[in-house]
Amino acid sequence: MPTIEFNKEDFLELVGEELTDEEIEEKLARVKVEVEEIEDDRVEVEITSDRIDLLSVEGIARSLRTHMEKEQGLKDYKLHDNNYEVKVEDVEARPEIVTAVVKDVKLDTPTFQSLIQLQEKLHATHGRDRKRVAIGIHDIRNIEFPLTYQSAETEEHEFIPLEKNEKMDLEEVMDNHEKGKKYKHLLEKHDKWPLITDKTGQVLSFPPVINSRRTEVSTASEDLFIDVTGTDRESVEHALNVIVTMLAERGGKIHKVKMNRGDGQYETPDFSTVEKKINVDQISDYIGIDLDKDKAKEYLQRMGYGVIEIGDEIEAVVPPYRSDILHQVDIAEDIAIGFGYNNIEPVVPNIATTGQEEDIIEFENMVRETMTGLRFQEVVNPTLRNKEVLNNKVKRDTELVEIENAVSEKYTALRDSLIPQLLETLSENTHNTYPQKVFETADVVLKDESQPVKTRTDKHLAGAMVGKESDYTDIRENLEGMLESVGVEAQFKESKGGPYIDGRCAKVILCGEEIGKVGEIDPEVLENFGMDMPVAAFEIDLEKLRAEK
């Protein structure tokens, strides 16, 4: 989980109350912020990775003020109109961009340090090391609007990048600048690279790599231009909202920017709220407390939500800087925090049994240890993904269990296979040393008309290896090693289809029943994931394996 540091005196000023070190630790724990260390005037805390709004001292102080009831409900951040415009062209490498202008920011040392730290932490976590989201922060004094977001030839547009004193073209930045070398892998598969220029043609930013020195931010800066580029619209919007509201907590005035794209115009930042109807009785059951509508409203407001009352029901209005609220369960967690976990009375279940692991879990743990012993690294991916990744990219057309009203385009279906996300994981690590070996053991959800809920959940194991010499023989040897460790010997029958190369894959047969497949991944599939190294993989049904061993 990410950690951040901040100045204690600055934090207490933002909270608006004097607190002892013990009180700071106790109160922050109530809002999911764990204090690692308080030394003199320095505070180090750990944040859960889903709460990107808490990656700054300003966000933490805002959360604590509402929890302490110094402020209540949804905070209203005013958006000022202006004539700022950005022309958005088609940029294949990073198709999404949102921007904002924030004026009258007093960038004293604590604020400046907090802003830079927030940018770095968002890059590392929410931004997937700039692959999904990259953030540029500029002093607006040397910018002439309107701006243009465009694809540029690699040897065009010379500019002086940050940390350098001489002009470089884009190719030279990639080859000679420290940041260029670090992030080259994000763009090198594209013929043209993203660039932001102003009315005069001057370069402001070469995302996701480096900004121009022309717009370098310092403690003397007062008016800022912020650009957020990436591959996913929802992710860049959330990152922008977190940054501009952090600056607004310091007195900054947020100004909208008109984004003119070929298919229409939109304005950013977008502070449109999401309203979620909640079932108070169900949330009471989740938490284990006696909750009514008025109490639910009180606890929601204590967590910074707005509340809309509709007869006997209420809707929670989610703040625009919260990216983690996907389901009623997430709101139930916040209501529990608003109520106070320490106020929930523990109850011993009236059940005369002793808990123990299920047999399949014990078996899964044994398999996990074996895979680790074979030098595979374990990964954990979400059960939810979308049809594009789970089917289209891997040349499958299976009938997925889909969500009717999905909150995010990234999470619209339940996975029925582990292979697609293993390939996605490998595609996000192409800049790391080869060979790489990863595995996952987890649930998959399959349609099954014979079941009361028309679906069933199975436990699968999948492994994948990538490198110049990754082939069918290597992956099969690793699979056979795992099977041998659990005391079984399988047969292999030639197969085809799915993500595998025809003739270079096989069914895994145990006691006459197919339990999975193993083989080399089709180059077309690898191209869909932006990979150019051979990959071999397998996936088997652990429950069938356990039943037959």
pLDDT grade, residue 356 (50/70/90)? confident
Cβ count near 488 (within 10 Å)? 16
Distance, CA of 385 to CA of 220 (rounded, Å)? 44
* Cβ(42)–Cβ(7) below 8 Å: yes
pLDDT score recorded for residue 497: 81
CATH 3.30.930.10 in the chain: give the residue spans. Answer: 359-548
User: Taking the domain 274-341, which CATH number applies?
Assistant: 3.30.56.10
Q: Mean pLDDT throughout 310-319?
A: 88
Each residue's pLDDT tens digit, 82-96: 889 999 999 999 999
**Using one digit for the tens of pLDDT, what is the confidence trace for 414-433?**
999 999 999 999 998 888 88
Round to whole Å and give the CA distance between 105 and 89.
30
Q: Where in the chain is the domain with CATH 3.50.40.10?
A: 79-268
pTM confidence score: 0.76
519, 495 Cβ separation under 8 angstroms: yes
- Residue that is written with structure tokens 């996975």 in the block: 415
In angstroms, the CA 536 to CA 466 distance is 7
Mean pLDDT: which of 111-120, 155-164, 338-347, 481-490 is highest? 111-120
Domain(s) of CATH 3.30.56.10: residues in the chain: 3-67, 274-341
Structure letter (DSSP) for residue 177: S
Q: Return the closest-CA partner of residue 114 out of 271, 24, 245.
A: 245
- Going by pLDDT thresholds of 50, 70 and 90, the confidence category of residue 358 is confident
Q: What pLDDT was estimated at residue 139?
A: 96
CATH class of 3-67: alpha beta
Whole-angstrom Cα distance, residue 246 to residue 248?
A: 5
Helix (H, G, I), strand (E, B) or coil at 414: strand
Flag whether pLDDT at 181 surpasses 70: yes
CB 491 within 8 A of CB 517: no
For residues 162, 168, 169 and 170, what is the CA-based torsion angle, rounded to 10 degrees? Answer: -40
Residue 22 scores a pLDDT above 80:
yes
The predicted pLDDT at position 216 comes to 95
Cα 523 to Cα 520: distance, rounded to the nearest angstrom: 9
Residue whose entry in the numeric block shows the structure tokens 């002793």:
354
**Cβ atoms of residues 287 and 299 within 8 Å:** no
Q: What is the pLDDT of residue 471?
A: 93
pLDDT of residue 85: 96
SS (H, E, C) 51-86: CHHHCCHHHHHHHHHHHCCCCCCCCCCCEECCCCEE
pLDDT grade for 410, boundaries at 50, 70 and 90:
confident
Tell me the pLDDT tens digit for each residue of 498-526. 899 988 999 999 888 999 999 999 999 99
Q: Which option is the CATH number for 79-268: 3.50.40.10, 1.20.1260.10, 3.40.50.300, 2.60.120.650?
A: 3.50.40.10
Lowest mean pLDDT among 116-125, 141-150, 153-162, 231-240: 153-162
Q: Find out if CATH 3.30.930.10 is the number for domain 359-548.
A: yes
- The string of pLDDT tens digits covering residues 245-288 is 999 999 999 999 999 998 889 999 999 988 998 889 899 988 98
Question: What local confidence, expressed as pLDDT, does residue 79 receive?
Answer: 95
pLDDT (0 to 100) of residue 549? 63
- Spatial CB neighbours of 284, under 8 Å, sequence gap ≥ 6: 290, 291
Average predicted confidence (pLDDT) for the chain? 92
pLDDT of residue 182 exceeding 90: yes
* pLDDT score of 310: 84
Q: Which two tokens stand for residue 97?
A: 């961009």
